[in-house]
Chains A and B, each alone.
Chain A
Amino acid sequence: MKKIRMPGKLAHVLAFVLALLLTLTLTMTCLTWQVNRVLTDADMHRAVYLDSRVTDAQMARIQARVEEIAREHPFQVETVMDIVNEDAVKAFNSEANAWWMGLMQPDPVLEAPAFDASDVEAAVREDAVFLENTPSTHYRTVARDDIAYEVGVAVNKAVLPVRADVLSIVMPKVLEKIDLPVYMGYLAMAPWACLGVSAVLALLLVLVMIRRLSKAGLYIGAAMMASALCVAGLGVMLYLIGVTGMIAELSMLLALQVSLLTKQIALQAGVYVAAALILGGGLIALHQADMNRLGKARRSIDA
């Protein structure tokens, strides 16, 4: 009779430890991948700031402020809104995004971009309502300081509602202490490094369980499913901290962008969780089928 080869107790203890480590490295792969995307994935950020909900909210905020300015210093709102249109706001969004992402690259530009409102000034100075209601000696100062400057501030606040001056003070200090671009390089490698370590651990599990490969499948599958549970659990914990709510208390516009960004990350992390659950579950199911087949063979021999 052919003897059924099974791994010993030591092999199971080793496999247990390796599977625990594999759970950790697989979870780290997913987490570092997502952190990396938040800090470096320009395409993902473009999809967020070009989202029609973001543009609509920004345009509504800018229009409200322009109407407010027009009540103080009469001019036709359309004159300004024709210049500060959706395309101009989207272009400035792109500029602002390139700026903050560049802060973590070598030789960053510390000064935040400002919306160029010189066209607004020129247009307002030719506006019929403005010319009728403003003393001719004040055309230039009112158009430049009271209207164009304020419109520029409104666009800046709508697109980049952060204290750029604080960043300009803090970032040089941070860059003095930490070589941020080097750490960003490490972060870019981190998901691949974690994936590589995971592959090595999976290979070790196969070697430890070489007597019955389906057992290696059981441990690898269990680790994959466990990492899916960990990613989902950590996601729930991060959600419970409620960063979006804190931002929403101060700026609904930024909170909207953060919420869209969170959805993008949750979607991809969700794909990882689903894939890990299906693949891991498949490997465990293969092991179960193998063990059931062996059990049946044993029972038929006993009978």
Chain B
Amino acid sequence: MARKYQRANRMNWLMPVLFALPLLCLAGAALLLWGDQLRDLINIAVKLAVIS
């Protein structure tokens, strides 16, 4: 019982990962879905604004 309790207590260190996952997953999914379009958009803006 005591060992089970200690193991559960140690799992508390994983809570930051649990809280970070939703935001990181959302950002990752957005990057996977729209990353190419975003890159193209930034590329066009850079080409328009910057002199070579």
Q: Determine if A230 and B51 form an interchain contact, defined as CB atoms under 8 angstroms apart.
A: no
For B38, give its contact among A241, A247, A254, A280 (CB under 8 Å). A241
In the complex, whether A96 has a CB less than 8 A from a CB of chain B is no
**A226 near B16 (CB under 8 angstroms)?**
yes
Partner of A291, one of B9, B38, B39: B9
User: Do A241 and B35 have beta carbons less than 8 Å apart?
Assistant: yes
Q: Which of A23, A242, A243, A254 contacts B19 (CB 8 A)?
A: A23
Q: Is the CB of A233 within 8 A of B20?
A: yes
Interchain Cβ contacts within 8 Å, total number: 107
- Contact check: which of B10, B13, B46 meets A246 at CB < 8 Å? B46
Query: Is B51 a contact of A157 with CB atoms below 8 Å?
Result: yes
Find A251's partner among B23, B31, B48, B52 (CB 8 Å cutoff).
B52
Query: Which of B9, B10, B52 contacts A250 (CB under 8 A)?
Result: B52
**CB atoms of B27 and A234 under 8 A apart:** yes
Nearest CB to that of B10 among chain A residues? Answer: A288
Which residue of the partner chain, among B6, B15, B18, B50, contacts A247 with CB atoms under 8 Å?
Answer: B50
B27 with A23: CB separation less than 8 A: no
User: Which residues, 2 to 52 on B, are CB-close (under 8 Å) to A?
Assistant: 2, 5-6, 9-10, 12-13, 15-20, 22-24, 27-28, 31, 35, 38-39, 42-43, 46-52
Q: Which residues of B does A touch, CB under 8 Å? A: 2, 5-6, 9-10, 12-13, 15-20, 22-24, 27-28, 31, 35, 38-39, 42-43, 46-52
Chain A residues within 8 Å of B, Cβ to Cβ? 19-20, 23-24, 27, 157, 161-163, 166-167, 218-219, 221-230, 233-234, 237, 240-243, 246-247, 249-251, 254, 280, 284, 287-288, 291-292, 295, 299
